[in-house]
Structure 1
Amino acid sequence: METTAASNPIHPLMAAAAVSLTLVSLVGAAAIAGLLPNSHGAAVSSSTVDRTSSGSAPLAQQSAPAPVVREIVRYKTVVHHEYPRRHETAYDKDRAQLAQADQPRDYRQAPAYQQPAPVAQNSPLGIGIGALVGGLIGSHVGGGNGRTLAAIAGAVGGGYAGNEIAKRNQFAGQQ
């Protein structure tokens, strides 16, 4: 009796997913351990590695590395510039009033601004109904693969036409 072993090769996408998952896991572990530059993990010093690898001191007696204390600047120098101000006098007020009185007044009515024309929105209902009708009409044209292509083209064209008709109907309802 002959038995043939069915070869079950791994799909290329599954292989790529496995490789990328492994790579991301390794990079994450390196970032946590502080082996990557600019990572927020605690960097391991060589003295800590020597103490832990020798195994001569029990774990309870090993001292943790001293935390790094960073100095925070709390005060900034702020300079306020003060300029002498000119005080307004009664003479200046009289001059301003005279200047306003000399100017001719304009009593024309302000121009009325029109509201911008509303923009028609795309209509999902119009697209759907147009695509359905276009696809049905296109499926009656040709035969074989040509019929499939005609149905797809009819659906695309019908969706566009249905959307345009729905946009026109939006404008008609607003006027």
Structure 2
Amino acid sequence: MEQIARTRIHPMMAVAAASVTLVSLVGAASIAGLLPDSKATTAPATEPMPVVSTAAPVAAPAPVPTPEPRRVVEHKTVVHHVNAPQPQPQVAQAQAPAPAPAPAPQNSAVGIGIGAVVGGLLGNQVGSGNGRKLATIAGAVGGGYVGNEIAKRNQQPQQ
């Protein structure tokens, strides 16, 4: 009979995985607002209890001074408006026509093609099986985008 080798996860790895999962779930619940807010308040200060003894009478505790309420400081902002001087009428002058705006760079089929090939080759170096196929496709798409952007920046304005 063949002996089947069983591999077990180390107990410390199981504890680490469980703790990371728990912390992640608590963080996600906190961000989502699923955890209740803390309604804690500070406990009011209590006066110390007088010690009762039969040997001597106890003096009354000294009155606790109450703090003064905070004063509200009001700030006023004064804005002075100054009227701008009126523009002087100008004599009409012959103006040269404004130059036409430069045309926007066009998409480059060469840049997209080269970028897609390079990105696909780089993506093919990652993973195995279906993961390699997905990485190749993602690399080709990303490389095509980057190649197009590089080609747009390198285009010279035509005159």
Q: TM-score, normalised by structure 2?
A: 0.40
Structure scoring higher RCO (CA < 8 A, sep ≥ 6) equals 2
Higher helix share: 1
